[in-house]
Amino acid sequence: MPSYADFYRQSIDQRDTFWAEQAQLIDWQTPPRQICDYSNPPFAKWFVGGTTNLCHNAIDRHLKDRASQPALVAISTETDTERSYSFAELHAEVQRMAAVLQSLGVKKGDRVLIYMPMIAEAAFAMLACVRIGALHSVVFGGFASGSLASRIEDAEPVAIVSADAGSRGGKSVPYKPLLDEAIALSKHKPTAVLMVDRGLAPMAMRAGRDHDWAALRAQHLNAAVPCEWVESTHPSYTLYTSGTTGKPKGVQRDTGGYTVALAASMKHIFDAQAGQTYFATSDIGWVVGHSYIIYGPLIAGMTTIMYEGLPTRPDAGVWWSIVEKYKVTHMFSAPTAVRVLKKHDASWLQKYDVSTLKALWLAGEPLDEPTAQWISDALSVPIIDNYWQTETGWPILTLANGVEQQTTRFGSPGKAMYGYNVKLIDESNGEELTAPNQKGVVAIEGPLPPGCMQTVWRDDERFVNTYWKSIPGRLIYSTFDWGIRDADGYHFILGRTDDVINVAGHRLGTREIEESISSHPNIAEVAVVGVADSLKGQVAMAFAVPRDASGLVDDAARLKLEGEVMKQVDSQLGAVARPARVYFVTVLPKTRSGKLLRRALQAVAERRDPGDLTTMDDPVALQQVKDLVGS
């Protein structure tokens, strides 16, 4: 076995040899002629001339050896159902869905918008699209009509697949009225709407346009729809970024590069074997759902678990009971979910046998050390942070334990992954920082490796202008995150490039202040923003969720805790970082994907208009802040 350092070096110095080898992890109908065409930077074409199919690699390929092995287990603690599909059954269901979509007029290259809860039919729809060469565009089921309408307009789908309702906390959330409203709002109209009826909410069906999945499925029970062999560069899907920093970007992904990248990540990063079980708690509306609920695990021949429900219902042990029952080997979640669990007793995590777990991978936001330590103590399994973006499709920074076992360092997502030529760029002069422990913008020298975005959907110019900068002679992709790399190659993400505050000339990362505050025993979660100040330019302001708020009965009690928190920041970081105020709230404003909406928080704290809030989860969160700061 090579050392990871050698493996990484080869991926950069002998790029094509490296990826030619990875390409053998998947099935090709026609093998690629050229590994990487980077003749028109920053647009990279991977595995040119090759033809393949994502659905073939996820399902058909496994029929020979594991037809009766469970491929997909859809668990809902909302409807108290568990449905398991073997690879053979999944193959049949996906062909039925593919035949139905074809009967509704969907052809290769067409878009199909999927607006669905976490049910098996959502997976069928995604796999059916790529089977016939149509592009899916999954829109998170929690979005309301405005967000949905803008995505319908951008994707211009021929068909939309949806369901009568989702369910959250035991209450059904009807989708159809929102969908009808969104279609009415959108300039583009789909020709067909396919509805899955779960029996959760009544639906008004519009004749001629709306169709019932169960009825059409019954007409195609024996459907045999072969995989459409597509060019490696044929787009497989489009997906929007989370909208944390502004208008979401429509990420377009290819087919061959993505299939190879996922197959390689299952082997090298997750050290996964066919027959094992993967449980990612994300949603199919996000990139983690695409790469690690649906495609990655299936490509690897694993059983994948899809979960509809909360992490705390019926109780905070529910995920770990699933791990025990299904002998989950790989679990993937987000720091935001761990912080939810952290508000409950750690004993919930110890009620079940989780010894089958190789590790818990966490991504999506900075994983602060206290949270990492808490979950590590509670579960006694390795916790592996991984850093990436919707744009990249698979981890940029983490540990490749399938290549060489590496030690986790809490607070760091780890090392640059093979294929990513990661650089730190000095923002003041645009030059590369090469010495260790210097703070810079995390960037990737082109070409981006396989699996990353091809472009912004229908907007090459936005792709080039948003992400790419040239440093003498080279084109560099910016992640818009700050980072630092230590002498051993471990990286630390310090926050987004717009999350730096400037207090009387001192530049401070909001993340450092948040880490310091969250190490206080009674703080579950905290957000720090810079607020304009006439004297100091900016001051830090903190909004914290206490672990136990029962003692915060009056102003005196709140002031006491505020004082403790300030003192802690003083002693850990210095008085300059001390927040001007620490406000206590019950919930922080977050995107639907669980990311802190710092720009909205900052705007409200500065008594400004918070701007586009379509991706926000709970409006109560901002109202609390408004009430506290008096705007």
Return residues touching Mg ion (CB under 5 A). 241
Binds 446: which of ligand ATP, Mg ion, none (CB < 5-8 Å by kind): none
Instruction: Rule CB under 6 A: say whether 496 interacts with ligand ATP.
Output: yes
Q: How far apart are CA 129 and CA 137, in angstroms?
A: 10
When the beta carbons of 45 and 595 are compared against ligand ATP, the nearer one is 595
389 binds ligand ATP (CB under 6 A): yes
Among 595, 605, 610, 614, binds ligand ATP (CB under 6 A): 595
Say if CB 138 and CB 306 are below 8 A apart. Answer: no
Sole residue written with tokens 């990487």: 36
**Beta carbon of residue 62, minimum distance to ligand ATP (angstroms, whole number):** 29
Whether residue 365 contacts residue 595, with contact meaning beta carbons closer than 8 Å, is answered with yes
Closest CA to 62 of 296, 265, 301, 293: 301
Q: Which is nearer to Mg ion, 176 or 595 (CB)?
A: 595
Q: Which residues are within 8 A (CB) of 509 and not within 5 positions of it... i.e. 6 or more apart? A: 482, 494, 495, 499, 500
Q: Which is nearer to ligand ATP, 145 or 241 (CB)?
A: 241
Q: Which stretch binds ligand ATP (CB under 6 A): 125-133, 231-239, 385-393, 576-584?
A: 385-393
Report d(CA 128, CA 57) in Å as an integer.
Answer: 13
Q: Does 242 bind ligand ATP (CB under 6 A)?
A: yes
The single-letter code of the amino acid at 239 is: L
385 contact, one of ligand ATP, Mg ion, none, CB 5-8 Å limit per kind: ligand ATP
Q: Pick the binder of ligand ATP from 248, 370, 546, 579 (CB under 6 A).
A: 248
The site partner of 186 among ligand ATP, Mg ion, none (C-beta below 5 to 8 Å per kind) is none
611 binds, among ligand ATP, Mg ion, none (CB under 5 to 8 A by kind): none
Beta carbon of residue 526, minimum distance to ligand ATP (angstroms, whole number): 16
Pick between residue 244 and residue 421 the one whose CB is nearest to ligand ATP. 244
The neighbouring-strand residues paired with 495 are: 482
Q: Are 283 and 140 in contact (CB under 8 A)?
A: yes
Report how far residue 418's alpha carbon sits from residue 402's, in angstroms, rounded to the nearest whole number.
Answer: 12
Q: Select the binding partner of residue 157 from ligand ATP, Mg ion, none (C-beta < 5 to 8 A, by kind).
A: none
Number of residues interacting with ligand ATP: please give it, by CB under 6 A: 25
Distances in Å between the alpha carbon of 22 and those of 35, 62, 192, 403? 11, 18, 39, 13
238 binds ligand ATP (CB under 6 A): no
Least distance CB 308 / Mg ion (angstroms): 26
Give the Cβ contact number of residue 109 at 10 Å.
13
Residue type, 417: M
CB closer to ligand ATP, 367 vs 422: 367
- As measured in angstroms, the least distance from the Cβ of 311 to Mg ion is 24
Distance between start and end Cα atoms, the chain: 61
- Give the nearest distance from C-beta 35 to ligand ATP in angstroms: 27
Q: Which amino acid is at 91?
A: H
Q: How far is it, in rounded angstroms, from Cα 338 to Cα 342? A: 6
Distance in Å, CB of 493 to ligand ATP, minimum = 4
Binding characters for ligand ATP, 400-419, by CB under 6 A (x = yes)? -------------x------
Give the nearest distance from C-beta 413 to ligand ATP in angstroms: 5
| 361/338 Cα distance (integer angstroms) | 11
Q: What angle do CA 168, 111, 30 make, to 5 degrees?
A: 115
Rule CB under 6 A: say whether 385 interacts with ligand ATP.
yes
The window from 190-198, 242-250, 424-432, 531-539 that contacts ligand ATP (CB under 6 A) reads: 242-250
241 versus 614: smaller Cβ distance to Mg ion: 241
Least spacing, CB of residue 156 vs Mg ion, in Å: 24
Q: Which string of b and e fits 55-91 if b means at least 16 CB within 10 Å?
A: bbbbbbbbeeebeeebbbbbbbbbbeeeebbbbbbbb
Task: Return the H-helix or E-strand segment holding 490.
Answer: none
> CB under 5 to 8 A by kind: which of Mg ion, ligand ATP, none does 479 bind?
ligand ATP
530 binds, among Mg ion, ligand ATP, none (CB under 5 to 8 A by kind): none
Per CB under 6 A, 363 contacts ligand ATP:
yes
Ranges within 448-487 binding ligand ATP (CB under 6 A): 479, 481
For position 386 contacting ligand ATP by CB under 6 A, the verdict is yes
From the list Mg ion, ligand ATP, none, partner contacted by residue 418 (C-beta under 5 to 8 A by kind): none
- Full 3-state SS string of 324-369: HHHCCCEEEECHHHHHHHHCCCHHHHHCCCCCCCCEEEECCCCCCH
What is the closest distance, in whole angstroms, from the C-beta atom of residue 593 to ligand ATP in the complex? 6
Segment contacting ligand ATP (CB under 6 A): 10-18, 238-246, 424-432, 452-460? 238-246
d(Cα 159, Cα 110) in Å, to the nearest integer?
9
What letter does residue 402 receive in the DSSP assignment? T
Query: Which stretches within 85-241 are classed as H helix?
Result: 87-103, 120-131, 145-155, 176-185, 213-219
* Token pair of 221 as six digits: 């029970």
The minimum distance between CB 251 and Mg ion, in angstroms, equals 10
User: Containing H/E element for 237?
Assistant: strand 237-240
Alpha helix stretches (DSSP H) within 14-109: 15-22, 54-58, 63-66, 87-103
Q: Which of 493, 526, 539, 577 binds ligand ATP (CB under 6 A)?
A: 493
Residues 176-205 that bind ligand ATP (CB under 6 A): none
Residue ranges of alpha helices (H) inside 507-579 are 510-518, 555-573
Candidate segments 90-98, 243-251, 404-412, 513-521, binder of ligand ATP by CB under 6 A = 243-251
Q: Which stretch binds ligand ATP (CB under 6 A): 13-21, 90-98, 172-180, 237-245?
A: 237-245
Count of positions (residues) in the chain: 631
Nearest residue (CB) to ligand ATP, 291 versus 303: 291
Strand partners, 523: 546
Can you give the binding site for ligand ATP, defined by CB under 6 A?
Answer: 241-246, 248-249, 363-367, 385-387, 389-390, 413, 479, 481, 493, 496, 593, 595
